[in-house]
Amino acid sequence: MTKIRVEDLTKVFGKKPQRALSLLKENKTKGEILEATGLTVGVNKASFDVNEGEVFVIMGLSGSGKSTLVRLLNRLIEPTSGAVYLDDKNLAEMDEKTLRTVRRRDMSMVFQNFGLFPFRSIQSNVEFGLEIQGLGREERTQKAIEALKLVGLEGYENMLPDELSGGMQQRVGLARALANDPEILLMDEAFSALDPLIRKDMQDELLDLQQTMKRTIIFITHDLDEALRIGDRITIMKDGAIVQIGTPEEILTNPANNYVEKFVEDVDRSKVYTAQNVMARPESVQPEREGPRVALQRMRQSGISSIYAIRRDRELLGIVHASELSKLVDEGKDDFSEVIRTDVPRVELHTPVSEVIDIITDSSVPAAVVQDGKLRGIIIRSSVLSALSGKEVNLDETISESTSS
C-alpha cells in the first residue's frame, strides 16, 4: 500500500524561484538554470511512491538534492511546486497547525550529526517529541525508557549527549524519533558521520528493529553499499532529479544510464547478489514415476553427468550420477532410489553469493538452491563467475516458476 506519494516535487532556492519553473519544464539542466537566473535547483520534478513498511533509500552524490528532498517531505523546506501526499492529505498545502500534528504524530526525523540538544540529558532528549505534544511526565518517562531500551541504551538516561560516543549519540537520535511511535522515519545520512565498523552495526540494528516494527523508512545516503544493504528499493538522484528507482538488484544489473553505472561499478557484487540471482534452471528426475532410463536419456540430452532427483512436489531427494544409473540399467533394475546421494550442497534462495562460492568450490556437483526443502534451481560455477563480472543475472524467480509448474 502506498504511504507517501510524491508528485512533481520541485524546490528552487533563491529569490523569485518561479522564474526557474518554466525553464525546468523545458528540461533545462540545473547548470543552465543557475547560469541564466542565478537560482539553484535543489529538487527537480521528483515523483515516486513509498510503500508502507518498506525501507526506501534515496542515494546520490553530495549536492544531488537528497537532503532537500527529504526535508520537503516534512516541509522543513517549503516546496516551490508539486505535491506530497501522506495517505491522502497533501502536505504541501497543509496549514501550520495540521502540519505540526503530522510532524508530531506521523513522521520523525533522524539527523546526520544527530541534532541532539546538548543541554538536555539523554532521557530528556528522547522525551522531547512527547513533551512538545504535551504528554504528562509519567507517560513521557515510560515511553522514553522503552525507546532507549529498543536501541540498547539502558542506563545512560542521566548522561549528557557529549558524554557518549558518536554511535551512541545516534542511537539517542533514533530513540528520540521512535519514542513518538511514528509511522514514518526520515533518516538523512543518519549513519554517515559514524566510522565504518559502527556504521555496519547500526545498519544491522536498524534492519533488526525494522523486522519487528515495520515502519516506513526513508533513508538518505551517499554510499551505495549502505543503500544496497538496507534498501528494499533505491532511488538514485542526480542534480536534483531522480535518475532511477528500483530494487537493489535492478539498480545493479540494469543501470539506467552512465551515472548509475559509475555508481554501481565498484560494488562488491558477491555481497549483494544472492543465490537466486545466479541460479540456473534445474534438470531433474522424479524417481516416483520415472526410471533410470528416462534419467539417463534426460542427462544425455542436456549433456550433464549428474541430475537432481525430486518428489512430485519438487521436494529435493538428492543427486544421481550417470555412471551408477548405467550400472542399474545393465542390471535391469527399474528403481534407482538406492543410488540417490543425499549429501548434496544446498543453499537457500537468499544465501549471498559470497557464501555460495565457498560451497561450490568444494563440490564436484552443482549446488541445489532450495526453498522450504523444494528444488528451485541449481548453481554452476560458470554462472556465478559471469554474474560477478557484471553480466546478466536473474532478477526474479521466473526460472524456478517456469519449472515448478
Partner 1 sequence: MKLFPSLPLAEWVEALVDWLTNADLLFEAIEMLISFILTALQTVMEVVPIPVFIIGIPLLTFFFAGRKIGLTIFVFLGLFLIDNLGFWEDMLIMLSLVLAATIISVVVGIPLGIWMSKSNTVEMIMKPILDFMQTLPQFVYLIPAVAFFGIGMEPGVIASVIFGMPPTIRLTNLGIREVSTEVIEAADAFGSTPSQKLYKVQLPMARTTIMAGVNQTIMLSLSMVVIASMIGADGLGDIVYAAVGRNDVGSGFEAGIAIVIVAIILDRLTSGFQLKQKKK
Ligand X SMILES: Nc1ncnc2c1ncn2[C@@H]1O[C@H](COP(=O)(O)OP(=O)(O)O)[C@@H](O)[C@H]1O
Nearest C-alpha neighbor of 206 from the set 232, 158, 171: 171
- Give long-range contacts, CB 8 A cutoff, 24+ apart: 118-123: 118/160, 118/161, 118/162, 119/160, 120/160, 120/161, 121/157, 121/158, 121/159, 121/160, 122/148, 122/153, 122/156, 122/157, 122/158, 122/159, 122/160, 122/161, 122/164, 122/172, 123/148, 123/157, 123/158
The answer to whether residue 44 forms part of the interface with ligand X (CB under 6 A) is no
Using CA atoms of 167, 171, 172, 178 in order, give the dihedral in degrees to the nearest 10.
160
The answer to whether residue 17 forms part of the interface with ligand X (CB under 6 A) is no
- In the complex, which residues of this chain contact partner 1 (CB under 8 A)? 71, 74, 76, 100-104, 107-109, 111-119, 128-129, 131-133, 176, 180, 186
Which stretch in 60-68, 127-135, 252-260, 307-315 sits in contact with Mg ion by CB under 5 A?
A: 60-68
DSSP code, position 338: G
Nearest C-alpha neighbor of 135 from the set 185, 182, 176, 180: 180
Instruction: Name which position in 15, 26, 62, 96 contacts ligand X (CB under 6 A).
Output: 62
The answer to whether residue 13 forms part of the interface with ligand X (CB under 6 A) is yes
Which stretch in 59-67, 155-163, 343-351, 361-369 sits in contact with ligand X by CB under 6 A?
A: 59-67
Least distance from Mg ion to the Cβ atom of residue 167, Å:
20
The answer to whether residue 63 forms part of the interface with ligand X (CB under 6 A) is yes
- Closer of 68 and 284 to ligand X (Cβ): 68
Rounded CA-CA distance 235/231 in Å is 9
Least distance from partner 1 to the Cβ atom of residue 43, Å:
17
Which stretch in 66-74, 82-90, 149-157, 273-281 sits in contact with Mg ion by CB under 5 A?
A: 66-74
Rounded CA-CA distance 77/10 in Å is 11
Which stretch in 57-65, 86-94, 100-108, 277-285 sits in contact with ligand X by CB under 6 A?
A: 57-65
**Segment holding 48, helix H or strand E:** strand 40-51
- Closer of 127 and 249 to partner 1 (Cβ): 127
Of how many residues is the chain composed? 405
- Closer of 222 and 314 to Mg ion (Cβ): 222
Instruction: Name which position in 44, 64, 125, 221 contacts ligand X (CB under 6 A).
Output: 64
Please choose which of ligand X, partner 1, Mg ion, none residue 68 contacts, taking the beta carbon within 5 to 8 angstroms, the exact cut-off set by kind: ligand X
Please choose which of ligand X, partner 1, Mg ion, none residue 3 contacts, taking the beta carbon within 5 to 8 angstroms, the exact cut-off set by kind: none
The answer to whether residue 42 forms part of the interface with ligand X (CB under 6 A) is yes
* Cα angle, residue 210 at apex, residues 263 and 273 outer, rounded to 5°: 40
The answer to whether residue 80 forms part of the interface with ligand X (CB under 6 A) is no
- Closer of 64 and 244 to ligand X (Cβ): 64
C-alpha cell at 72: 520537503
Beta-sheet strand order (sheet of 346-348): 346-348, 367-371, 374-379
Q: Looking up cell 532511488, which residue turns up?
A: 235
The answer to whether residue 67 forms part of the interface with Mg ion (CB under 5 A) is yes
Rounded CA-CA distance 349/400 in Å is 10
Rounded CA-CA distance 389/113 in Å is 37
The answer to whether residue 128 forms part of the interface with ligand X (CB under 6 A) is no
Please choose which of partner 1, Mg ion, ligand X, none residue 231 contacts, taking the beta carbon within 5 to 8 angstroms, the exact cut-off set by kind: none
Residues that bind ligand X (CB under 6 A): 13, 40, 42, 60, 62-68
